[in-house]
Chain A
Amino acid sequence: MRDQKPVSASPLFRWTIFLVLLGAVSTWSIRSTLVHAKRMKPAATSAAAFSTLQPGARATAVVQLDKVSGESLTGTLLQRESDTVYRRTVSDTNLVSAILTPKTAVVMGKAEDILPGAIVQISGVLDTNHALQADQVVILTGYVNVTQGPM
C-alpha cells in the first residue's frame, strides 16, 4: 500500500496558508492604519467660530491642554496650519473648557495621556457654560507639532 502524506505536509497547502495569513494581516494593518489616520483628520472649528457657537451645538477642537483637574480640562484652541502643524496663539477667545464624562471615548491613546501640555482633539456638545461635554478625545501628542506666534 502506498504511503499517503497528510494534506498539511504538502507545499501547496503551506503556501496557501502563508498567503492567506499574509493577506489577512496586510488587510487588517492597512485598514487599522487608515482608520487611525482618518481620526487624525484636523478639526475645522476656528477660534472665531468656536466662540460664537450656541449651547447644544456640536464642536470639534484641537486643543493644547493647560490644566487638567479631574474631569475638567482647560486648554488653548490651536489653529491649523497643516495636517501636522498647529499654531498656538494667546487670546481669551482661544480658551476652551471641556468636561470628561463616563461616556467619553479616548482614542489613539489612554486616559493617562490627558495631562497638561498634551495635544488633543476634543469632540462633543457645548453646554450652557460653553464647556464641551466631550464624547471623544483623540490624543494627538506626538503626531502634530505646535508653533507659537500670532496669526
Chain B
Amino acid sequence: MSDYLSKALSGWAAVMIFASGLAMPYLLRRMAGAGTPYLRRMWPHYWLGYLAFLVSFAHSWLTMSSGNLSGMSTPGLWLATIALLVMLWQIAVGLLLRNPTQSDRRILRRTHFWTMASVAGLIVAHIALNRP
C-alpha cells in the first residue's frame, strides 16, 4: 500500500507542480512588480518548471524501480516517458527564453506554449490509461 501511495502521490505532486508552473505566466504578467522586469518576475515559473521535471523523474524512478509493471497499460507508460523527455526539451526552450536579448523570442514562445500543451495532453492521457 505504501508503495502505491508513494507512486501515486509523487505523480499527483508532479501534476500540481506542472499545472502551477503553467499558470504562473498568466498570473504574473499583469501583476504590478514595482518596476521589476517581467522576466525577473517569472522566477516562480522557472523553478516550478525545473521542480516539475525532477518530481516527474522521481515518480518514474519509483515506478520503474519496483520492477512490477505487469497489469499497467504499456501505451500509458510510453506516453509518460515521452512526456518526461519533452519536458527536458521544454526546459531547454525556457532557458533560451530567459535571455532578454533573445532575437527569436516570438517563435520560441510559440514553441514553448505548444510544447506545454502537448506535455499537458500526454499527462492527461497517462493518467487516464494508468490510473487504477
Contacts and interface: CB of A to CB of B under 8 A. Distances in A.
B interface secondary structure, majority: helix
A55 interface: no
A37 B1 CA distance: 6
Contacts of B12: 26, 29-30, 33
Nearest to A140: B71
B8 A139 contact: no
A37 B70 contact: no
A147 to B, nearest CB: 12
A70 interface: no
A133 to B, nearest CB: 24
Contacts of B23: 18
Contact of B5 (A11, A33, A141, A144): A33
A14 interface: yes
Interface in A60-95: 83-84
A112 B34 CA distance: 59
A36 B68 contact: no
A145 interface: yes
Contacts of B132: 36, 108-109, 139, 143
B69 A142 contact: yes
Contact of A18 (B1, B3, B27, B30): B27
Contacts of B16: 22, 25-26, 29
Given A22-B20, A30-B9, A33-B9, A40 B68 contact: no
A129 B70 CA distance: 32
Nearest to A145: B68
A29 B23 CA distance: 19
B82 interface: no
A38 to B, nearest CB: 8
Contact of A33 (B8, B20, B26): B8
Contacts of A108: 132
Interface string B1-44: 11111001100100110011001001100111000000000000
B72 interface: yes
A9 interface: yes
A118 interface: yes
Given A22-B16, A143-B3, A11 B8 contact: no
Interface of A: 9, 11, 14-15, 18, 22, 25-26, 29-30, 33, 36-37, 40-42, 83-84, 108-109, 113, 118-119, 139, 141-145
The 10 closest A-B pairs by CB, nearest first: A141-B71, A142-B71, A108-B132, A29-B12, A33-B8, A83-B1, A84-B3, A11-B31, A142-B72, A40-B1
